[in-house]
Chain A
Amino acid sequence: MIAEIGLASLWLAAALAVLQMLSGALALRASNGERSSLAVYARPAAVVQAGLATLAFLMLLYAFAITDLSIKLVASHSHSLKPFLYKLTGTWGNHEGSMLLWVAVLALSGGLLAAAEKRLPERTMHATLAVQGFVALGFYAFLLLSSNPFERLPVPAAEGVGLNPLLQDIGLALHPPTLYIGYVGLSVAFSLAMGALITRQVTPEFARVMRPWVLGAWVFLTLGITAGSYWAYYELGWGGWWFWDPVENASLMPWLAATALLHSVSVLAARDALRTWTIMLGVLAFSMSMLGTFLVRSGVLTSVHAFAVDPERGTFILILLALYIGGALTIFAFRASSVAEGKRFAATSREGALVFNNVMLSAILAIVLLGTLYPLLTEAFDVRVSVGPPYFNPVGAIFAIPMFLVMAVGPLLRWKSDKPDRIKQELAIIGAILVSITVLVAVLGTYGLLPVLGLALAAALAVAAFLPLRGRKLSRVPTAVWGMVLAHFGVAVALFGMASESAFTQEKLAAMSAGDSTSVGEWSITLDSVDPVAGPNWTALEARVSASRGGEPMRLSPQARNFWAPSQATSEAALLTRWDGQLYAVIGDTAGETADGTQRWQIRVWWKPFVTFIWYGGLLIGLGGVLAIIGRVRSDMRRRIATRLGDARRAELEQLEAAKTAENA
């Protein structure tokens, strides 16, 4: 019954998406002043649809919670003996479930937009809802026609297959929903951009409506990528936090586009400039979300040939991608000429700096896109090439370094037009930090060029982030400005962590028997013992490792785990976090025996100075985004209340006037 309720609500939601689309579109066709009788359905359709899609997702969640083995998806991805939390998170730990989550979030944000957004002109709102309905319809069709999560088995399975042990982790519980909210938030930005373009309402008011959605999506993407990077770092057991893997790139590309969009929409809201550029970025950001979904969901990454053999899902997403991007670009081509670029500005101005950095972000996005898609393209012609960190790091840096330099200066500039002379003191401070750190690091040791530049830029950016506050009364700085300061500071912190990890990491591999000692960096490491331990659905060998650098020894317990449903070995790293870095320990295979017959083990230990700053930085960037949303929404509320009070007062005055004239007459 559960599965059938879920499936029925999905079909109903899809039907409502059709209604929403038609109703919005018909409202548009009705000429000004007239009201189409169907127009009234667009908003309620979106709201009810949100409820139905959420219901469908809850039904699947419930099926996983009770391990309903008559449902194919549950039987092939869950197991009755799995810990309860991982039964729940297993709901979106598979293709169908994660697509259902995606669609539920899409419907929820569409519902929220329809219910809460009253500032836009009705026509623009209808166009937006029509586009949103059209987008949702495509994904309902994808789910219902090619990836039905509620499919029953003819005969219920006796036991489930289980969930990949790598995925049985709290990181997985938080990471995909966070990213999905980000991706899907960008769909609202896309719909709003299309709505504004269709009704020729690309105005600062529209930008103010779009901004919280972009900011919100961007915050979730930032946090999702940060969490995903940390999850890969501690769960996969090789101490890497980013490998330019296609799957990682698939989440980075929408973030880059959203970062550019976020800054562009701010210029539009504040200065009524960059209109077409903002619309273009809105299309680009959601395109990158869908491209990411295609890359991950189609199986094209495992092998282009495997994809060619069973192309149903991939082709479906590809068609949706072509339809939405193609449609958006067509509308753009027809309408762009009637949307003027907006107010002009000089090169040395706040807008100029923002344009520069938007172009740089787009260029980095193009590099990531090229490096991700190129190997797939050649594989189709049976030529296999690998594109990895040695390509992405230097080529990306060509655009990233100028971007960071301008990012340090941009917030100090005035809108519209400014003179570099005015901020020469600040420029001197930033320049001095850059030069002195570069020289200092280069003198102290031999490190790669990029880590050295990274350290210098991080220091300069950290100081530059706070320079916009200079000479201002701190209590009167708007919340949104604090948000910017914090986010820019977060970039500096993350950059410092990355450069430091890359420059200063030390690694030690040792074959040790109990009682042996070794050292890595300032740390001395002793293997105390190796013992078998057991968990709910695994057994493991656990190493007890003591680590100290002068003070009390600390205990780390890395494990080599063997799961039995499904049967798989994983490595559980042990982390010791200090303010200045992390000690990362892994136990590997046996390493034979010593001469006297004692068992030896492969122990691998890293000391990674300041590696944690990468994720602290990510959190700061996200927090900055949250502050910006709070600031913007609060000032918008205040403006709306003021307008309402003003209107009420004017109405009263008019009444008084009218009464007076009546008396006089």
Chain B
Amino acid sequence: MIRSLVFTLIAAFALCMPAYAQDDMPPAPYAYTQLDDPVLEARALELMETLRCLTCQSQSIADSDAPMAGDMRHQVRSRIAAGEDPEAIRAWLIERYGDYVSYSPDVSATTWPLFAIPAVLLLAVLFALLRRLGRRSGDDEAA
């Protein structure tokens, strides 16, 4: 319904807020530092926005202040800086954390209905429109 009412979710939220003066470890270098090259940074950001923060509720790692998200941002930025392909980095993260980490589902044994159903839907929509609008009907049939 609305974010505000998901109280149970908010317990998970607390983890994603900055833990001021609580964490002893300083964040990884690229957790809060952008890449110097704007093109590379844009590429990294685009990827980070589609990766899930695993300790939060519905947040991408680009938006999360959780320490783990910071570590993942560091991974993404340093790998992009080293010239790796964004999709290769995604594949590496999926291998490590499972499908759950990526907001962009691929066609796989577990996700194929996400793509098959819209395709069927598209056909159904075309069929429905052809049936409803396709027939010529100038005559005003009283109902």
Chain A residues within 8 Å of B, Cβ to Cβ = 93-95, 98, 164, 166-167, 171-172, 175-176, 179, 183, 224, 228, 231-232, 236, 238-240, 243, 245-248, 250-251, 272, 275, 292-293, 295-297, 299, 301-302, 306, 340-347, 352, 355-356, 359-360, 363, 366-367, 370-371, 374, 378, 383-391, 395, 398-399, 416-417, 507-509, 511, 541, 560, 562, 568-571, 588-589, 591-592, 602
Contact = CB atoms under 8 A, between A and B. Distances in A.
A388 B19 contact: no
Contact of B133 (A275, A301, A352, A374): A352
B12 to A, nearest CB: 7
Q: Which 7 A-B pairs rank lowest in CB-CB distance, beginning with the nearest?
A: A388-B103, A390-B104, A238-B63, A340-B143, A347-B133, A384-B100, A296-B1
A96 B36 CA distance: 51
Contacts of B117: 366, 370
A302 B9 contact: yes
B118 A395 contact: yes
A16 B91 CA distance: 60
A389 B63 CA distance: 14
B4 A176 contact: yes
Interface in B55-87: 57-60, 62-65
Interface of B: 1-10, 12-14, 17-20, 26-27, 32-34, 45, 49-50, 52, 57-60, 62-65, 98-105, 110-111, 113-114, 117-118, 121-122, 125, 128-129, 132-134, 136-143
Q: Is the interface of B mostly helix, strand, loop or mixed?
A: loop
B23 to A, nearest CB: 8
Contacts of B3: 228, 231-232, 236, 245, 247-248
Given A243-B58, A390-B50, A301 B6 contact: yes
Given A295-B1, A343-B143, A569-B20, A359 B125 contact: yes
Nearest to B139: A344
Contacts of B8: 299, 302, 306
B4 A568 contact: no
Given A250-B1, A356-B133, A398-B118, A384 B98 contact: yes
Given A562-B20, A589-B27, A301 B9 contact: yes
Contacts of A602: 32
Nearest to B2: A228
A346 B136 contact: yes
B13 A166 contact: yes
Contact of B58 (A245, A275, A378): A245
A591 B10 contact: no
A245 B63 CA distance: 14
A221 B113 CA distance: 30
Nearest to A353: B133
Contact of B18 (A231, A345, A384, A569): A569
A568 B22 CA distance: 12
A175 B2 contact: yes
Nearest to A272: B143
B118 A571 contact: no
A386 B100 CA distance: 5
Given A386-B52, A387-B114, A591-B32, A231 B105 contact: no
A570 B14 CA distance: 8
Given A176-B4, A238-B59, A360-B125, A344 B141 contact: yes
A228 B50 contact: no
Contacts of B1: 176, 179, 183, 247, 250-251, 292-293, 295-297
B129 A359 contact: yes
Contacts of B118: 367, 370, 395, 398
Contact of A509 (B4, B33, B52, B132): B33
Contacts of A172: 4
A61 to B, nearest CB: 17
A588 B141 CA distance: 68
